[in-house]
Structure 1
Amino acid sequence: MRGGLCALLLLCAPFLAAQEPTPEELERWFEDDTRAQPYDFEVNSGELEFLAVMPDKRVPHSRNRLRILPTSLDDGWLEQSQCHENLDPVPLAEVVYTYREMRDLRVVSASGIERAWVEGQSVQMENIGHGAVLCVAAAARLLRREGDEYVLRNGPFQRRFLDGYFPLRVSLTLEYPAERLRVVSVAPPGQPGFAVRHEPGRVTLEALFEGRLYTEVRFRAAQR
């Protein structure tokens, strides 16, 4: 990343994180009353904490959709799309992916962002305005075979600025071939701030949290 104040969102092994600004840049940023300062929460150092009530400050929302195809059971590759809404209004930001195997990362659309482009396994952004939205798509090899189970792990989802972690809302819809797979377990378990909904062929997770969130869904072959 280039110099300057930067926010980083790490989701699904992508994340929105920060490159450290200079003291002068920080002073200008915190004294600028024209921006919606998102960083005046109590600072979380990374421990996962679900939030039962939405904070009264602006919270970015990451909408994620993953599709397990019949071919995914053989090669592990899934289709993925994400829209990051209500992004932090900062001069520089990046969505970083730490997947071991990823391909075809592309920007589908961007609004309220002066410039957005793919750089390696990241999407770089310049001059993000209020209410900005970034939508991306890619393929990632995420489905792993462990014994007689298929395992899909995601994370960490996080919103980081300097050394602190701040509230983030994540919606994750996982589609899978119900005629081939059945869900065995979902982790973390449902609780205030983390809702799990399951229907044949689809698992939906809704999370409001700060810190780092990892998710895991385990499948077995469906009875024929």
Structure 2
Amino acid sequence: MVTSMRPAPRWRAWVIALATMEAASRATALTLDDVAREGELRFLAERPDPGAYRYDAEARIDADSLREGVVTMRTCHRQLDPNPRIVVAFNPERVQSIDIVSTEGVGRAWVEGRRVELADVRRGGSVCIDLRTRALEPIGEGRWRLHAGPLMRRYLDGYLPMEAELKVVWPPGLLQVTTTDPAPQPGVKLSAGTDGATLHVTFAGRLSATWELQRPAAAR
């Protein structure tokens, strides 16, 4: 189902572009109303195709990250559809290192430049990848923005539903979330604590998400 993952514009670190070739087998339970058109983004309170492709990422931020803008990340692409070749591409201007952590249902996986190449992917396959990437943008005194995306699951000229769980962790008390885009709403759930936060999004379309973070008042 996945044929390519294109580099994100600027320095965005979480990237997934899913162009479907064999998605018909997954999409049979869907209707045309479930497919988002080009330029359309819909948040879904319930997923119409549970058990299909999902994406999760965890960014780890520490004091050095705030000074240098570099975070370590683990990204996982799960419940892939069968495909002879998948290319997972990352922004070459920002990604500093790429390591394949694990694969399941994948014939072969290797790093090629700033890409991860997968061959002979079986239905339900998965890959997890560790990264170091310059993903934090300072936006003021004691404030930063973290970008996620663009995320998408392409199907012909549109986009199928997908889930993304975007998690950020930091030492207790280092940061707090001020806003996220998208904001919490049906299809978008935010949970936050003193040591991190998680944004769970169910959607159809092309999604670029951002976190705005700041130091707590007691830490300034």
- TM-score, L = length of structure 1: 0.82
Aligned to 1:68: 61
Q: Of 81, 89, 94, which aligns to 1:96? A: 89
Question: Structure 2: how far apart are the matches of 1:57 and 1:137?
Answer: 26
1:180 corresponding residue in structure 2: 174
- Find the residue that maps to 1:53 and give its secondary structure: coil
- Choose 1 or 2 for highest CA Rg: 1
SS at match of 1:71: helix
Separation in 1, partners of 2:60, 2:123: 31
- Select which of 193, 203, 207 maps to 1:199: 193
Residues in 1 aligned to 2:208 and 2:2: alpha-carbon distance in whole angstroms: 24
Letter in 2 for 1:165: Y
Q: Aligned partners of 1:220, 1:143: CA distance in 2, in Å?
A: 12
What is the RMSD computed on CA atoms of the aligned residues?
Answer: 2.4
Compute the TM-score of the two structures, normalised by the length of structure 2: 0.84
Tell me how far apart the structure 2 counterparts of residues 82 and 66 of structure 1 sit (CA, whole Å). Answer: 9
In structure 1, C-alpha distance between the alignment counterparts of 2:27 and 2:86, rounded to whole Å: 15
Q: Do structure 1's residue 8 and structure 2's residue 1 form an aligned pair?
A: no
Most deviating of 77-86 and 9-18: 9-18
Q: Is the contact made by 1:175 and 1:202 (CA closer than 8 Å) also made in structure 2?
A: yes
1:169 aligns with 2:163: yes
Q: How far 1:168 moved relative to its partner?
A: 1.3
Task: Provide the residue aligned with 2:211 in structure 1.
Answer: 217
SS at match of 1:38: helix
Structure 1 runs (4+) greater than 6 angstroms displaced: none
Match of 2:19 in 1: 18
Tell me the matched-pair count.
Answer: 207
Question: Is the alpha carbon distance of 1:192 and 1:158 closer, same or farther for their aligned partners in structure 2, counting shifts above 3 Å?
Answer: same
What is the CA-CA distance between 1:74 and the residue it aligns to? 0.6
Gaps of 5+ in 1: 20-25, 31-35
Partner amino acid, structure 2, of 1:84: H
Runs of at least 5 residues in structure 2 that lack an aligned partner in the other structure: none
Secondary structure of 1:7's partner? coil
